[in-house]
Amino acid sequence: MTLPFETAVDRHGATVLRVCRAVLGPGPDAEDAWSETFLAALTAWPQLPAETNVEAWLVRVAQRKAIDVTRRRARHAVPTAELPERASSQGDPGEGDDLWTAVAALPERQRLALAYHYLGGLPHTETAALIGGSADAVRRAASDGLRTLRRQYAPTDPSTGDPR
């Protein structure tokens, strides 16, 4: 584009701001979309063909940036004065289930190895870096912890009372 970028901002800045305000309403979101429009335009400016209708192009960029802001708004949490009282569909980890108590009763290395590997999704090598020791030792600690928990929660044969 042969036209200096500053000239495009001077000529079309008000139009772009009107488009942003039309989509987002007056306020900081519209101003942010306006800024993002011209940042994106500045990046693309050197490659823009000379015959481009600059105003139409900027309006299209502004519309897309305004839509991006609208999408960002939808993904953000909205603060409220009161939280709704709803029971969790999975229940309270401390109520009616002794699993968390059993996990807490495990030796520290087993508990940490289980937590980091199975709950946190870390590989044994990274878990070893966090809690110390080798990956094999951490793998063994996690295995021992799982074995202990499985023994406590294994289904029993109703006729004999022995684990199945």
pLDDT on residue 45: 92
Q: Is residue 86 part of a domain?
A: no
The CATH number assigned to the domain holding 122 equals 1.10.10.10
Q: Are residues 55 and 106 in the same domain?
A: no
Number of structural domains (the chain) is: 2
pLDDT at 15 over 70: yes
Residues 66 and 128 in one domain: no
Same domain, 144 and 105: yes
- Structure tokens belonging to residue 80: 């409220």
Question: By C-alpha distance, which of 138, 90, 101, 136 is closest to 118?
Answer: 138
Spatial contact of 156 and 131, defined as CB atoms under 8 Å apart: no
Hey, is 130 helix, strand or coil? helix
Domain carrying residue 59? 5-75
Confidence category of residue 160, pLDDT binned at 50, 70, 90: low
Find the CATH number of the domain harbouring 59.
1.10.1740
Q: What integer is the mean pLDDT of 89-95?
A: 59
Pair 48, 10 in one domain: yes
Residue 103 CA to residue 153 CA, distance in Å, equals 12
Q: Which pLDDT band, with edges at 50, 70 and 90, does 39 fall under?
A: very high
